[in-house]
Amino acid sequence: MSVLVVTGTDTGIGKTVFAAGLAAALGAHYWKPIQAGVDPDGDKEEVARLSGLPAAHILPEAYRLATPASPHLAARIDGVTIELDRLALPQVDGPLVVEGAGGVLVPISETLSMADLFAHWGQPVILCARTALGTINHSLLSVEALQSRGVPIAGIAFIGEAHAENERIIPLLAAIPSLGRLPLLDPLNPVALAEAFAAHIRLSDPFNG
């Protein structure tokens, strides 16, 4: 089993769309271990809609929390305790794409962040980043947080309108590969996503960086 973890520099940057495109391109299983906020749907429903993967490839969450908040807060409000042993990677045949919740340092509990969970898994991470103003700082801080925990980084994927300088300087300063840029899509549907992913994202050897 090969695993790729998709995370982001922030919430709401398009990493679920990226994860859907990645899972579809690899014919992978998709798993989001912690979903916080399900009104009207969670991210696995969005991935199912956008990826065209078989229903059996969309795995149920370990924690499906109703409150749209940081996982630690959503769990507290929902009366749930998030336990590390329930966050073990599921065993599947073939590739597995795992999507984190929020940004790299979002707390899962009082003592555990997303980055800590990634370090526990020890699997390569793709960092999704905006192209807009502020992304240099957010991206480099996210890379430092991952690297300080020994998390392998397969590369950075930009999402949004083209910004040549941000797309150049971040991989250079972070010393990580750029996997390309996924443009904003309108309409956003499985065909448009698959075509854009194939045209703009480089996945020659995503499991080894």
Asked whether the predicted pLDDT for residue 109 surpasses 60, the reply is yes
By three-state DSSP, how is residue 137 classified? helix
Q: pLDDT at position 203, please?
A: 83
Are 5 and 121 in contact by the 8 Å Cβ rule? The answer is yes
What mean pLDDT comes out for the span 6-32? Answer: 97
Which residues does 14 contact at the CB level (< 8 Å), separation at least 6? 8, 128, 159, 160, 182, 184
* Domain 124-209 sits in CATH 3.40.50.300: yes
pLDDT one-digit tens code per residue, 138-187: 999 999 999 999 999 999 999 999 999 999 999 999 999 999 999 999 99
| Model-wide pTM > 0.75 | yes
CA angle 153, 158, 159 (to 5 degrees): 135
Confidence of residue 207 (pLDDT cuts 50, 70, 90): low
* Structure tokens, 120: 């526990």
pLDDT one-digit tens code per residue, 59-89: 999 999 999 999 999 999 999 999 999 999 9
Are 9 and 138 in contact by the 8 Å Cβ rule? The answer is yes
Asked whether the predicted pLDDT for residue 90 surpasses 90, the reply is yes
pLDDT one-digit tens code per residue, 123-151: 999 999 999 999 999 999 999 999 999 99
CA angle 83, 87, 88 (to 5 degrees): 130
Q: pLDDT at position 206, please?
A: 58
What mean pLDDT is reported for the chain?
96
Residue ranges of alpha helices (H) inside the chain are: 15-26, 43-51, 71-78, 114-121, 135-148, 164-174, 190-200
Asked whether the predicted pLDDT for residue 208 surpasses 60, the reply is no
Sequence ranges of the domains in the chain: 25-101, 124-209
Tell me how far apart the 2 most distant CA atoms of the chain are, in Å. Answer: 46
Confidence of residue 205 (pLDDT cuts 50, 70, 90): low
Asked whether the predicted pLDDT for residue 209 surpasses 70, the reply is no
What mean pLDDT comes out for the span 101-115? Answer: 96
Q: Is 32 a catalytic residue?
A: yes
Which residues does 26 contact at the CB level (< 8 Å), separation at least 6? 4, 94, 95, 97, 203, 206
Q: pLDDT at position 120, please?
A: 98
| CA 103 – CA 139 distance, rounded (Å) | 10
> Among 197, 102, 97, 109, which Cα is nearest to 142's?
102
Active-site residue, selected from the candidate residues 15, 29, 32, 57:
32
